[in-house]
A and B are shown apart, each in its own frame.
Chain A
Amino acid sequence: MANFAKPGGPQFSVDVYQNEYLPEGGREVNAIVTVTARGGTAPAGPGASAAVVLMVDCSGSMDYPPTKMRNARDATAAAVDTLRDGVHFGIVDGTHVAREVYPGGGRLAVADPTTRAQAKQALRRLGAGGGTAIGTWLRLADRLLAGADVSIRHGILLTDGRNEHESAAELKDTLDACAGRFTCDARGVGTDWEVKEVTGIASALLGTADIVADPARLTEDFTRIMESTMGKEVADVALRVWTPVGTRIKFVKQVAPAVAELTDRRTEAGPRAGDYPSGSWGEESRDYHLCVEVPAAGLGQEMLAARVSLVAARPDGSVQNLGAQGLVRAVWTDDMAASTSLNAQVAHYTGQAELAQAIKEGMDLRRAGDMDGATAKLGRAVQLAGVSGNADTAKLLAKVVDVVDAPTGTVRLKAKVAEADEMTLETRSTKTVRVKK
């Protein structure tokens, strides 16, 4: 059995950024926890224990325009080309039912020049026709991935339409069943798909979501996803947060590279500790915002508000502690200068989270016809994007609103907005930038 915990796996480190000083009676402790994994094995190493299933939407709408199906086939073929030798892989044709395109027989192929060529041959037979029931694709992917004796299990899902042939509840049940079993990146191609469905899948399965408005760019995107997947070395890592009695975790969210709410995804892990899933890790760094409410203590007192460590699930169901840990402290002081200063990291990510929220609410209001509300929210978003230096989001916002004055957040809604621009803004609204060092 492949052991991802072998020596030479990535080294994790945890850094805590916070202002630990609270005023008399202060109860809320905020901290940004930066988790960094670095120095893993050579690139060829971990591929041997990874499995990938590509789910390609083959519903009838993929034929309109016909280039869409062709681009999807080409992109999938390019993704297959980036598979490293030894990686287990399979291709699923998704309509209102899921069908194995390659290799078939309820198992996965092992990448080598022969299987890659066979897979590309099989892709040519892919045609459009039928409905869309994404849950069936995910369940098939789960079955195929579960059969492989690997540590990293990943799916790539491409859709161009709404999940019309199963209920939202069915999809949710499927996502709940699959969560923690494999990770999945989701991509919407064209503009006929539902942003909330695609981002929902990615968030539940701890992957990324994005729009590929122009089908011609699919190849580039798939290649990038596959490279990132090949870089993953440790699966099923969780943030283990211990808090003392009498405290309450107000929220835990990932704030970089994108905002992802984790508060409700806690699973209890021993006394006063809980695990928050973070998916699989390659050589990368992510930031988390932890907010804990502690009982007020007297001046001069000090307490540990939270201890953050990392654990990885072992194949046998047990967990392994990855060694690194960070301490979130609370110290009560009457030094006003100390207790009133805001930690730069906390301030930055509080702003980034508000930015994502303002965009979401603004776009919802705009759809609902509340133009004043939408203008206010998107104006705030423009202001926040400017202050925090989130240039990508600012650019996307500028396609939806006319910016009159960015520092004050004065904007006008554009009368006509391309659907692709609107969907791009919504899909990417959670992307954050890190603090300028």
Chain B
Amino acid sequence: MSQMPQQAALPKCPSCAEPLEPGDLFCGACGYDLSAVPAPPADQPTLTTTGAPDGGVDWPEPEPATTGGTEPRAHRAADVPGTDSGGTPLHTPEPAASGVRFDRPAEATEPTEPEEYPLQAPDPRAEPPAQVCVACRAGRVDGDGYCENCGHAQPRERDHMERESGPAAAISDRGLRHHRNEDDFTVAHTALPDGSPAALAVVCDGVSSATRPDEASTAASRAAGDVLLAALPRGTHPQAAMHEAIVAAAKAVDALAEAPDGAREHAPHQNAPACTIVASVVASGLLVVGWVGDSRAYWVPDDRSAPPARLTEDDSWAAQMVAAGLMNEAEAYADERAHAITGWLGADAYELEPHTASFKPDRSGVVLVCTDGLWNYAEAPEEMAEVLPPDAAARPLHAARVLVGHALDAGGHDNVTVAVVPFPTPPQGAGSA
């Protein structure tokens, strides 16, 4: 727990370092939304290791592909080891984990149990809609979203979004340097035809140099989420569903470019709206990821003695250089072109190449699905694992807050979005609805 950076940051405002008072919802000086970095939980050891059912139930074998034009390849973890940035393969499978056990009654894993969050900041949206400026706390907010007293723009809904669905949770934050949030996400859960649970998360990062990047990320994350939610209950193989979802997301972003531009700002450069996408589905013992661009998925086992791994390979200049053997990783990422992306969703993308991969981890853990606003501050899987609280699987929303807090404390130069999806998916009802 000592690794959690936000504990050290409080009780100062993470945005302007103004000392805070207990019970503050927003910083009295700058109006920063303090719910973005919640007060630290009581420092008591949390013993939950995973939400896995007892007895080491056999996960069903992945069904063969039933829909979609592509032939999905299902891999065992040993077949396609996820490689981390150092080239270290994802750990090889070990005998079925009989070591998964519960240290306390199952109902104690209920994350909404009040004592789990003794110091959590109350949700500001639960307050009565008193439209008082969050910056000066004196003026009312006018119809344009500015304070009638100090003129400050009020936080918009997208500045900080938190959502939980089933076992998974996600947070998106504007960060500290950008004036709007161009990331978006979808987090959802459903059930397969056999009744087993499935959880999914989609994260998109709008490309700032294009027009309307915020609309692109919203369109893509919604479209991909809708396809997955429709395909998984029909029995579509998760990897095939993932492929379909990315294709649908690309179409949704393409459609934005065709939309009439009449009432919009006439930017001199007319770059079509574009965004990256990364998504993960956890269902029937499989961990499926799919991506285009430089947003990433990481795997962090609950047992921290096992190595974490990065599951995606960036569509970026640096990654291409490394893959082609022209530069080593250090050289490539030091180059100013390192973060130029070579793949994205958008009408001006050269060719859509949805990457998908399927894993069958042999132990419990969590999948982190995030934008570069987070991984810039924890690039290596080991760094990511270090930031992630040990109880991430049981308290995914809390884990996401810790990760976002880490990025903000480190500077928050970009929008920060992360989704936390536990593997395996706990049976429905065990997680918070």
Give residues in A with beta carbon < 8 Å to B. Answer: 243-247, 272, 294, 297-305, 307, 327, 331-334
Check if B177 sits within 8 Å of A243, measured CB to CB.
Answer: no
In the assembled complex, the Cα of A294 lies from the Cα of B151 at a distance in Å of 10
Check if B144 sits within 8 Å of A327, measured CB to CB.
Answer: yes
In the assembled complex, the Cα of A148 lies from the Cα of B30 at a distance in Å of 55
A-B pairs with beta carbons under 8 Å apart, 22 shown? A244-B139, A244-B149, A245-B149, A247-B151, A294-B151, A297-B152, A298-B30, A299-B177, A300-B175, A300-B177, A300-B178, A301-B179, A302-B152, A303-B150, A303-B153, A304-B144, A304-B147, A304-B151, A305-B151, A331-B179, A333-B177, A334-B177
In the assembled complex, the Cα of A272 lies from the Cα of B147 at a distance in Å of 12
- From residue A32, how far is it (CB to closest CB) to chain B in Å? 17
Give chain B's interface secondary structure class: loop
Instruction: Please tell me which one of the listed residues B136, B151, B179 contacts residue A333 in the complex, with CB atoms under 8 A apart.
Output: B179
- From residue B189, how far is it (CB to closest CB) to chain A in Å? 33
- From residue B321, how far is it (CB to closest CB) to chain A in Å? 26
Check if B153 sits within 8 Å of A302, measured CB to CB.
Answer: yes
Q: Is there a chain A Cβ closer than 8 Å to B1's Cβ?
A: no
Q: Is there a chain A Cβ closer than 8 Å to B230's Cβ?
A: no
Check if A303 sits within 8 Å of B136, measured CB to CB.
Answer: no
- From residue B208, how far is it (CB to closest CB) to chain A in Å? 9
Residues of chain A lying within 8 A (CB to CB) of residue B16 = 298
Least CB separation from A328: chain B residue = B151
Query: Could you give, for residues 141-155 of chain B, a 1 whenever the CB lies within 8 Å of some chain A CB and a 0 otherwise?
Result: 000101101111100
Residues of chain B lying within 8 A (CB to CB) of residue A297 = 30, 152
Among A243, A300, A305, A333, the one with the most B-chain Cβ atoms within 10 Å of its Cβ is A300
**CB < 8 Å A-B pair total:** 57
Check if B179 sits within 8 Å of A244, measured CB to CB.
Answer: no
Check if A303 sits within 8 Å of B146, measured CB to CB.
Answer: yes
In the assembled complex, the Cα of A247 lies from the Cα of B136 at a distance in Å of 14
In the assembled complex, the Cα of A334 lies from the Cα of B411 at a distance in Å of 13
Least CB separation from A333: chain B residue = B179
Check if B176 sits within 8 Å of A244, measured CB to CB.
Answer: no
Check if A245 sits within 8 Å of B176, measured CB to CB.
Answer: no
- From residue A296, how far is it (CB to closest CB) to chain B in Å? 12
Residues of chain A lying within 8 A (CB to CB) of residue B150 = 244-246, 303
Check if A303 sits within 8 Å of B152, measured CB to CB.
Answer: yes
Check if B152 sits within 8 Å of A300, measured CB to CB.
Answer: no
Check if B146 sits within 8 Å of A304, measured CB to CB.
Answer: yes
Least CB separation from B208: chain A residue = A335
User: What are the nearest 7 A-B pairs in CB distance?
Assistant: A244-B151, A304-B146, A302-B153, A304-B151, A303-B151, A303-B152, A299-B177
Among A247, A297, A334, the one with the most B-chain Cβ atoms within 10 Å of its Cβ is A297
Give chain A's interface secondary structure class: loop
In the assembled complex, the Cα of A147 lies from the Cα of B319 at a distance in Å of 83
Residues of chain B lying within 8 A (CB to CB) of residue A307 = 144
In the assembled complex, the Cα of A334 lies from the Cα of B149 at a distance in Å of 26
Q: Is there a chain A Cβ closer than 8 Å to B7's Cβ?
A: no
Q: Is there a chain A Cβ closer than 8 Å to B406's Cβ?
A: no
Q: Known A-B contacts: A244-B150, A303-B153, A332-B179. Give 7 more (CB < 8 A).
A: A245-B149, A297-B152, A299-B177, A300-B174, A300-B179, A305-B151, A327-B144
Q: Is there a chain A Cβ closer than 8 Å to B15's Cβ?
A: yes
Instruction: Please tell me which one of the listed residues A243, A247, A298 contacts residue B176 in the complex, with CB atoms under 8 A apart.
Output: A298
Check if A304 sits within 8 Å of B153, measured CB to CB.
Answer: yes
Residues of chain B lying within 8 A (CB to CB) of residue A305 = 151
Check if A300 sits within 8 Å of B176, measured CB to CB.
Answer: yes
- From residue B158, how far is it (CB to closest CB) to chain A in Å? 13
In the assembled complex, the Cα of A304 lies from the Cα of B16 at a distance in Å of 20
In the assembled complex, the Cα of A298 lies from the Cα of B135 at a distance in Å of 12
Among A246, A302, A327, the one with the most B-chain Cβ atoms within 10 Å of its Cβ is A302
In the assembled complex, the Cα of A305 lies from the Cα of B153 at a distance in Å of 10
Least CB separation from B133: chain A residue = A244
- From residue A401, how far is it (CB to closest CB) to chain B in Å? 38
Residues of chain A lying within 8 A (CB to CB) of residue B15 = 298
Residues of chain A lying within 8 A (CB to CB) of residue B30 = 297-298, 301
Least CB separation from A292: chain B residue = B151
In the assembled complex, the Cα of A333 lies from the Cα of B152 at a distance in Å of 15
In the assembled complex, the Cα of A203 lies from the Cα of B175 at a distance in Å of 50
In the assembled complex, the Cα of A22 lies from the Cα of B178 at a distance in Å of 13
In the assembled complex, the Cα of A32 lies from the Cα of B150 at a distance in Å of 22
On whether A302 and B179 interact (CB within 8 A), knowing A245-B136, A327-B144, the answer reads yes
In the assembled complex, the Cα of A334 lies from the Cα of B178 at a distance in Å of 8
- From residue B217, how far is it (CB to closest CB) to chain A in Å? 18
Residues of chain B lying within 8 A (CB to CB) of residue A302 = 152-153, 179
Residues of chain A lying within 8 A (CB to CB) of residue B149 = 244-245, 272
In the assembled complex, the Cα of A298 lies from the Cα of B153 at a distance in Å of 13
Check if B144 sits within 8 Å of A244, measured CB to CB.
Answer: no
In the assembled complex, the Cα of A286 lies from the Cα of B147 at a distance in Å of 29
- From residue B12, how far is it (CB to closest CB) to chain A in Å? 15
In the assembled complex, the Cα of A300 lies from the Cα of B181 at a distance in Å of 10
Residues of chain B lying within 8 A (CB to CB) of residue A244 = 139, 146-147, 149-152
Check if B152 sits within 8 Å of A301, measured CB to CB.
Answer: yes
In the assembled complex, the Cα of A327 lies from the Cα of B143 at a distance in Å of 12
Residues of chain A lying within 8 A (CB to CB) of residue B178 = 300
Residues of chain B lying within 8 A (CB to CB) of residue A304 = 144, 146-147, 151-153
In the assembled complex, the Cα of A301 lies from the Cα of B15 at a distance in Å of 11
In the assembled complex, the Cα of A83 lies from the Cα of B151 at a distance in Å of 48
Least CB separation from A272: chain B residue = B149
In the assembled complex, the Cα of A245 lies from the Cα of B147 at a distance in Å of 10
Residues of chain B lying within 8 A (CB to CB) of residue A332 = 179
Check if A243 sits within 8 Å of B151, measured CB to CB.
Answer: yes
- From residue B339, how far is it (CB to closest CB) to chain A in Å? 15
In the assembled complex, the Cα of A272 lies from the Cα of B151 at a distance in Å of 11
Among A243, A246, A299, the one with the most B-chain Cβ atoms within 10 Å of its Cβ is A299
